[in-house]
Structures are given as structure tokens and as C-alpha cells.
Amino acid sequence: MATSDRSELMAGYERVTAAPMIVLSLAFVALLIYPIAVETPPALDANLRTANWLLWALFVIDYLVRFSLAPYKMRFVRGNLVDLAVVVLPLLAPLRILSGLRALRILRAVTVVSAIAKAHRRSRNVVNPQSIGTTLLILLVVLSVGAALEFEFERGVPGANIKSYGDSLWWAICTITTVGYGDRYPVTTEGRGVAALLMFIGVATVSLLAAGLTTVFVGREAEHDMKVIVDRLEAIEKAILIRRNEPPA
């Protein structure tokens, strides 16, 4: 198959699968953070793990299909390291017995961030990144995930004052909005890393939201002004036509 044909097939496949992969990526993230935020019974926890592995299998299939369609294999691998991370990182989870709880938490955090990055990459084909709805959705996902990761790193640590997902969510809201009440704060190195990431994301997301709101209001005002101009031009045009049709004095 010619290189151009492979490129067209690849582009067509990514357009068709973009929306489903966004949904699957967000579902994958939800399955990862739900057991962190909520105490789940063993039976439900087993079902969640099964669903998680099923989603992971779909990611593997998607990656292999795109890899087979890519005209240049190494370029594809280098350009899709996030997707490769989503495929490879879950395979390291069974090593948690050898690595310890702290390494498992870091591994889970990296996997979650990789899955979100994957969803963001695929969303470029189906959503407008400048829309207010998209920005609010991003903000909601970042808050939920950031709170879950913070709680994962902080719970059970001596001296920690973030002791529930509710505490962590309140902390995340204060952090991402740069309010910073100081009643809840991380004490672990990993938790402070999550805090720094939320601060940077907060500045970017709030700026994006402000730009979106400005566009909405300015756009409405500009639309009204344009309508006034068009109405006046039409009135002038009618007046000129009427004068042209008048008999000479």
C-alpha cells in the first residue's frame, strides 16, 4: 500500500474513533480514581478492575491498529508516546508487591495523567478548545482527578490534614482558583507536586475561561453593531435607488 494511502486511512481512522476514544479515556480515568475517592466493597472493586482491564485492552487494539496504518513506524512511536504510556504503564501494576505502596501511587498518578493527555490529544479532532463548555469540562476533570491524586498521596500519612476526598476536593478548588485558604495543604512531596501542577493548570484554565467569556460578550456586541451598520447601508441603498427612479426636475 502506498504511503499516501496509508496516511489517508490513518487520518480517516483517527477522525472516526476520536470521539469514542475520548469517552473511553475519561471512563478509564474515572475507573482509576473512583476507588480512591470512595471506599468500595471487594466485589465492586473486582468488577472495577475487570472493566479497567477491558478498557485497557481497547487502548491496546487502538494503538496497534494505528501503528499498523502508520506509514512511518518509528515516527508514529515518537509522536504518540502518551498513547504508548497508557498501554505500557498498567502492565507495571503487578510489580506493586516489589515496588511498594508509594511507587504504586506514583504509577497510578502517571497513568491517570497519561490517560487525560490521551483524551486531550484526540479531542482536537472533535471539540473546539476555545469553547466555554469545553473549558468547564476540562476544569471539572482536572479538579476531580487532582483531588483524587492528592488524597491518594496524603491519606494515611502522619501529620496529613487532608483525610477525605471531600477535604481534597475543597483543597483542589482553593488551589486551582488561587484562593488558597490554607486550612488544607499537602505534606508529602508527591502531594506538593500535584499542588504545583494544579496551580499552573489553574492559571491557564481560568485565563482560557476568561477569554471564552470575553469572546461571547464581545461577539454579541459586535454582532449587534454589524446589524446596525447593515441596516443603515440598506437604508442608504434604498434612498439612492428611489432618487435614481425620480423624474428629472
Domain co-membership, 115 together with 200: no
Residues 50 and 146 in one domain: no
**13-to-17, 35, 62, 102, 241 alpha-carbon distances in Å:** 6, 33, 10, 39, 56
Scan for cell 476536593, then name that residue: 169
CATH number at residue 182: 1.10.287.70
Looking at the domain assignment, is residue 75 inside a domain?
A: yes
- Expressed as residue numbers, the domain containing 82 is 1-126
Q: Is the pLDDT of residue 249 over 50?
A: no
Kind and range of the H or E run holding 160: none
| Predicted local confidence at residue 95, as pLDDT | 59
Mind listing the pLDDT tens digit for each residue in 130-182? 566 666 777 788 888 888 888 888 888 888 888 888 888 898 888 887 777 77
How many separate domains does the chain show?
2
In the predicted model, is pLDDT for residue 203 greater than 70?
A: yes
In a domain, 174, yes or no: yes
Segment 27-34 mean pLDDT: 82
Report d(CA 120, CA 26) in Å as an integer: 10
Considering the domain boundaries, does residue 153 fall inside one? yes
Q: 13 with 21: CB under 8 angstroms?
A: no
* Helical axes 3-37 vs 132-154, angle rounded to 10°: 50
Of 104, 126, 148, the last residue of a domain is 126
Of 97, 126, 155, the position where a domain reaches its end is 126
Are 189 and 70 within one domain? Answer: no
142 plus 119 within the same structural domain: no
Name the residue type at position 115: A
* 93 half-sphere exposure, CB direction, 13 A CA radius: 17
At 61, the pLDDT band (50, 70, 90 cuts) reads very high
Residue 149: inside a domain: yes
Residue at grid coordinates 469517552:
23
Q: Rounded mean pLDDT of 14-33?
A: 82
Does 211 lie in the same domain as 107?
no
Report the pLDDT value the prediction gives residue 179, as an integer from 0 to 100: 78
CA–CA distance, 226 with 232 (Å, rounded to integer): 10
Task: Tell me which residue has cell 476540562.
Answer: 138
In terms of domains, do 39 and 90 share one?
yes
Q: Is the pTM of this model over 0.75?
A: no
Beta strands in the chain (DSSP E): none
Q: Are residues 2 and 122 in the same domain?
A: yes
State the average pLDDT for the chain. 77
The angle that helices 189-245 and 165-176 make with each other, rounded to 10 degrees, is 50
CB contact at 8 A, 190 and 106 = yes
Examine the domain organization and report whether 121 and 145 are in the same domain.
no
Closest to 2 measured CA to CA, from 63, 90, 86, 69? 69
Instruction: Please give the pLDDT value at position 15.
Output: 81
pLDDT category of residue 208 using cuts at 50, 70 and 90: low
User: Residue 223: its pLDDT value, please?
Assistant: 61
Give CA angle at 146 (144, 148), nearest 5°. Answer: 70
In degrees and rounded to multiples of 5, residue 165 shows phi and psi of -65, -30
State whether 32 and 16 are in the same domain.
yes
Distances (CA, A) of 135 to 9, 132, 148, 204, 211: 31, 5, 20, 10, 10
Share of the chain above pLDDT 90, in %: 2
49 is a domain residue:
yes
28 vs 134, higher pLDDT: 28
Exposed/middle/buried for 157, CB within 10 Å: 0-12, 13-18, 19+? middle
Note whether residue 46 is domain-resident. yes
Mean pLDDT of 108-117: 75
Counting residues of the chain whose pLDDT is more than 70, the rounded percentage is 75
The answer to whether residues 107 and 44 belong to one domain is yes
- The mean-pLDDT minimum among 4-13, 101-110, 164-173, 218-227 falls in 218-227
Identify whether 41 is part of a domain.
Answer: yes
Check whether residue 119 and residue 136 sit in a common domain.
no
Residues 72 and 155 in one domain: no
